[in-house]
Amino acid sequence: MSHSETTEQYDAIIIGSGMGGLTVASLLAQLGKKRVLLLERHFKLGGFTHSFKRGKFEWDVGVHYVGEMYPKALSRKVMDLVTGKAVDWQAGGPVIERYHFPEGSFDVPSDPKLFQKSLCEKFPDEATEINRYFKDLKSCQLWFARWCMSKYLPKWLGKLLIWPGKKLAMTITADYMKRFRSQHLKGILTGQWPDFGATPEKSAMAFHCAVASDFLNGSFYPIGGAQRISDSVEAIIEKHGGKCLVNRDVSEIIVENGRAVGVRASHKGTVVTYRAPVIVSNANAGVTFGKLVPEGFCAEEKAKASRLKSGVSALILFLGLKDDPRKHGFDDANYWLYSSSNHDLASQQSDPRMIEGGFLSFGSLRDPAAKSHVAQIIGFSDYNYWKEYSAKRWKRRGEDYESLKEEITNAMIERAEQFMPGVKELIEYQELATPVTVETFANHPQGMIYGQLCDPDRVEKDGWRVATSLPGLFLAGSDIGSPGVNGAMMASLFTAAKLLGPFGLVKVFSRL
């Protein structure tokens, strides 16, 4: 491979253009007047917020709904700042989640008071505990915000900040749920577990509460699709003299005199060296420390990266539809297809190639700018069933892989049809992404869509901080916060604040 070095000067290099990388890049450019170089290994910007097309159909990869995007919400203000208000958000309908359980279905209203009321009406004997749950949700949500901030503060101060409320945040979700007698109620309250990928017996309340409270006030969708986010940030970066380059696979962080000073990235058969005094990695933390940081540095982080507990890998079935799903009785809510309200039991008993946790949504019903109708069905899968195809190239993984995909696709469609008769006949186009697709395109080891497991260790022992032990190297993205668009964005706000100097946080908040 040939080598070259760019002579262009930048203030910061961001590895990866997911929501985390985009947040840091945009804030550094706007608030710090920095020239930012954003390097992305995919041929499109956006990470899990990118969109793709097949003929007339278009899908978002990792955005079905985003919470807290109503005009006065803090997350919306941050999103508006990051995107320069170039993205409009469409509020979802009155029902956010439609759960199908053997005990019966339950619709979650897009209003916390109505949600609480409908639960109390359905489970009157448990009303006192239900009311307490909503209070705990609120306090744990505030704790989560303090936890994100603690990653930016000196360690001792961060520990002090998260001390109050930590016990609840570190509690295993299933243990907390033991206060409820009805399994059906427990199943409803924990029904969003696939949004962060850890079943109640594994997850920490910190992640359960962060995600559950994020969606209490309903769902929102970026009008025109999630690609609008990176489109708008790209314009901001360029306006401030920076650049976004795709097809740049960073293979190494360059360290000189004990400082990160640049990166090497492969591009069309050439290894190109880019230099800047600040490097921010939005790549998965396991990749950053396992592959990009050279030996001899970040020893503690490397040890941590090698022992991380794997999170879930997913099957994502993209469907192009012949007709408007509304004509067939469907709406813009999320449909969750559960064969049991005990999410742990169901996950253990299901086929490991297609794990319990089926989700179906019609993306085009959320986007007033959509030109054709689409849907997605998502389930989880054990990476081991796909591992053998990981070394093979995209679209050249062979007949075995294709027939396995076909078998799983059919099973996913049949399962959806069983819960939602009429879905099958709507399908005109189908394409399945497997854990190796996620691994190939997003560089998440083992196709982990949410990074490491969202358990109590991710909160503390195996958690990541904004600054690394290598001077000049910083982290961004959901790995330092929680899974989700907001999780990646809010955590990365603190990375930007750190890089904007001693009054960085003041600079950011004064602009909100």
Ligand X SMILES: Cc1cc2nc3c(=O)[nH]c(=O)nc-3n(C[C@H](O)[C@H](O)[C@H](O)COP(=O)(O)OP(=O)(O)OC[C@H]3O[C@@H](n4cnc5c(N)ncnc54)[C@H](O)[C@@H]3O)c2cc1C
Residues linked to residue 243 through DSSP beta bridges, in sequence order: 37
Where in 310-349 is the site for ligand X (CB under 6 A)? 314, 316
Q: Supply 454's token pair.
A: 């969202």
- Between residues 184 and 498, which has the closer beta carbon with respect to ligand X? 498
Calpha distance 492→78 (Å, rounded): 11
C-beta nearest to ligand X: residue: 18
To ligand X, the closest distance from the beta carbon of 57 in angstroms equals: 16
> Which ranges of 72-171 would DSSP assign to H, the alpha helix?
74-83, 112-122, 127-150, 155-162, 166-170
Instruction: List the one residue out of 276, 253, 204 whose CA is nearest residue 459.
Output: 204
- Between residues 5 and 323, which has the closer beta carbon with respect to ligand X? 5
Token match 């869509």: residue?
449
- Choices 13-21, 167-175, 232-240, 463-471 (CB under 6 A): range interacting with ligand X: 13-21
**Side-by-side strand order, sheet with 427-433:** 104-109, 95-101, 334-337, 355-361, 374-381, 313-321, 427-433
- Between residues 168 and 411, which has the closer beta carbon with respect to ligand X? 411
- Between residues 342 and 361, which has the closer beta carbon with respect to ligand X? 361
Is residue 449 a contact point for ligand X (CB under 6 A)? Answer: yes
- Between residues 99 and 180, which has the closer beta carbon with respect to ligand X? 99
Q: For 448, which DSSP code? A: B
- The single-letter code of the amino acid at 336 is W
Calpha distance 344→355 (Å, rounded): 11
- Choices 85-93, 238-246, 305-313, 483-491 (CB under 6 A): range interacting with ligand X: 483-491
Is residue 381 a contact point for ligand X (CB under 6 A)? Answer: no
- Between residues 122 and 243, which has the closer beta carbon with respect to ligand X? 243
Calpha distance 263→470 (Å, rounded): 14
- Between residues 177 and 191, which has the closer beta carbon with respect to ligand X? 191
Cβ atoms within 10 Å of 70's Cβ, excluding its own: 13
Is residue 363 a contact point for ligand X (CB under 6 A)? Answer: no
To ligand X, the closest distance from the beta carbon of 10 in angstroms equals: 15
Is residue 213 a contact point for ligand X (CB under 6 A)? Answer: no
To ligand X, the closest distance from the beta carbon of 113 in angstroms equals: 23
Q: How far is CA 344 from CA 178, 187, 206, 349, 354, in A?
A: 14, 10, 18, 9, 15
Angle between helices 19-32 and 227-239 (to 10 degrees): 30
Q: For 139, which DSSP code? A: H
Where in 458-477 is the site for ligand X (CB under 6 A)? 477
To ligand X, the closest distance from the beta carbon of 22 in angstroms equals: 7
Where in 41-80 is the site for ligand X (CB under 6 A)? 41-42, 47-49, 62-66
Calpha distance 245→45 (Å, rounded): 8
Give the strand pairing for 355-361 and 473-475.
Answer: unpaired
Among 13, 14, 19, 260, which residue sits at the site for ligand X (rule: CB under 6 A)?
19
Is residue 13 a contact point for ligand X (CB under 6 A)? Answer: no
Collapsing DSSP states into helix, strand and coil, what is residue 377?
Answer: strand
Calpha distance 280→271 (Å, rounded): 19
Number of residues interacting with ligand X: please give it, by CB under 6 A.
39
To ligand X, the closest distance from the beta carbon of 180 in angstroms equals: 26
- Between residues 298 and 378, which has the closer beta carbon with respect to ligand X? 378
To ligand X, the closest distance from the beta carbon of 434 in angstroms equals: 12
- Choices 14-22, 317-325, 392-400, 404-412 (CB under 6 A): range interacting with ligand X: 14-22
Among 78, 174, 378, 470, which residue sits at the site for ligand X (rule: CB under 6 A)?
378
292-298, long-range: CB < 8 A, 24+ apart = 292/15, 292/250, 292/251, 292/252, 292/253, 292/263, 293/253, 293/255, 293/468, 293/470, 293/473, 294/252, 294/253, 294/255, 297/255, 297/258, 297/469, 297/470, 298/468, 298/469, 298/470, 298/473
- Choices 5-13, 381-389, 441-449, 503-511 (CB under 6 A): range interacting with ligand X: 441-449
Q: For 71, which DSSP code? A: T
- Between residues 203 and 478, which has the closer beta carbon with respect to ligand X? 478
Where in 228-287 is the site for ligand X (CB under 6 A)? 248-250, 282-283, 287
Among 12, 15, 79, 276, which residue sits at the site for ligand X (rule: CB under 6 A)?
15
The residues binding ligand X (CB under 6 A) are 15-21, 39-42, 47-49, 62-66, 248-250, 282-283, 287, 314, 316, 378, 442-443, 449-450, 477-478, 483-486, 488
